[in-house]
Amino acid sequence: MLSTIHLSDLQVLLREADVASRRYGSRLGISSQDRDDLRQDLLANLFARLPAFDPTRGSLGAFAATIFAHRAHRLGQVLARQRRLFGRIPLSLDDPAPGMPGLTCGDLIAEGNGDPATGTTELRVDLERVLAAMPAQARDIIDRLANHSSRQIRSDIQISHGGFYRQLSRIRRDLRMRGL
């Protein structure tokens, strides 16, 4: 158990954190701007677990590498879950809105003033904007969903069962990405 960290030990830990953040950041598909956050997260987790370090069992660098690998694995699981929910890459409010030049994802978030009618109107306007950016086949499916069965829609637009449900999955993902 370490009670204090010497300067040489700190340099080892920082060097290991740099290597780990580059390695795991590229494996997880994290942008270079977010790798600094990953490095800080890895170091914070390491410092929390540092009292469990036993020098008789191995070097400080090996202990740090193990802690970093475990934390990166857990972060990778969280990131994979977020990507399944929100698309391939988590969106930032500052990212450009897909298919809508000049707008950011933050621009697509409705700013209601507490009036339910305003929120409904904003939702309708947002939905119309999103539908306008979707492919024609997706718009056709959405238009028919309210009044027709999936079997009838598939036969009308001549699409396979799997293709229809893949298209529905894409539609849901696009709506979620745009906050609807």
Three-state secondary structure call for residue 71: helix
The CATH 1.10.10 domain(s) of the chain lie at 105-177
pLDDT of residue 114: 43
CA angle, 60 then 66 then 69, to 5°: 140
- The two three-digit tokens of residue 165, written as one number: 């449900």
Weakly modelled stretches of the chain, pLDDT under 70: 1-3, 85-93, 98, 105-106, 108-122
Return all residues near 135 (Cβ < 8 A) that are at least 6 apart.
none
Residues 6+ apart with CB under 8 A from 14: 43
* Whole-number average pLDDT of the chain: 78
Q: Say how far apart CA 152 and CA 132 lie, in whole Å.
A: 24
Alpha carbon 62 to its chain's center:
30
- CATH 1.10.10 for domain 105-177, yes or no, is yes
Q: What is the pLDDT of residue 2?
A: 52
